[in-house]
Structure 1
Amino acid sequence: MTATPAGTTTHPHVEILRTIYADLTTVADYAADDIVLHRADRTAEDPRVCRGIQAVVAHEQALIRLAKGTLAMDVEHIAATEYFGAVLGVLRARLPQQIAMPFCGLWRFEDGRIVEHWENAYAAAELQQLFTTPAPRSATS
């Protein structure tokens, strides 16, 4: 779902964001070299910032790897302007454990390129724990 008034066209940044959420590895195609990503697991004491396109791509690849390739970002709503984008949806993964968590991604654009991104998960600490805690073993394992 995209927030666009009837009779208007969709801003090009909406399509960029839709593409990224369909395949997180495409972020490099749309980001500035000096992009800054504020991770979902950041705190006031530890801001958990990724700086530069290589660090951002490595972070996204790590998320996919931690979810053993089952990570999906189900987008429910995208709003974008020349300067900002906001994406609401549900992050889902089947491994290492079943996860379904609301998220809100905020994006800042300059000259059509992404220069900053804030990851926001509804319960970031819980999400981080799910990705770092092994799934319970069944009695037959």
Structure 2
Amino acid sequence: MAPISEGISVVGSIAIVLAGAYPLVHFITKVFQKPLMKLGSLLGIGEVAAAGMIATLANNIPMFGMMKDMDERGKIINVAFAVSAAFVFGDHLGFAAGVNKEMIAAMVVGKLVAGVTAVAVACLIAPKAKKA
């Protein structure tokens, strides 16, 4: 059994990463608002859903809070993305950094590729929004 100090160290690493992850998500959402709008348009989702995908990169709890303002397609795509890509720049990054630094790149790439693949599949099966 690992000593308790090792567990506290891992939890501390996660907390430090999360302390920077939320401001990073806010920064990305504000600075890259126009590209996010284009991404949302390309995927057929609204601005809130596109911002939800960015929030999911740090932690999916904020995205779940935003779901009430998303269209149906945006909800489906966000949840599909969250299954694989959630926490990539938040909790999981902190855990990987605290446990095995050599695995950081593989974890980030693997989660992002899986998230993009999930979005592609969700785009194929999610109903398109009806034009008013």
TM-score interval, smaller chain: 0.3 to 0.5
Higher relative contact order (CA 8 A, sep 6+): 2
**Structure with more helix by fraction:** 2
TM-score by length of 2: 0.36
The structure richer in strand per residue is: 1
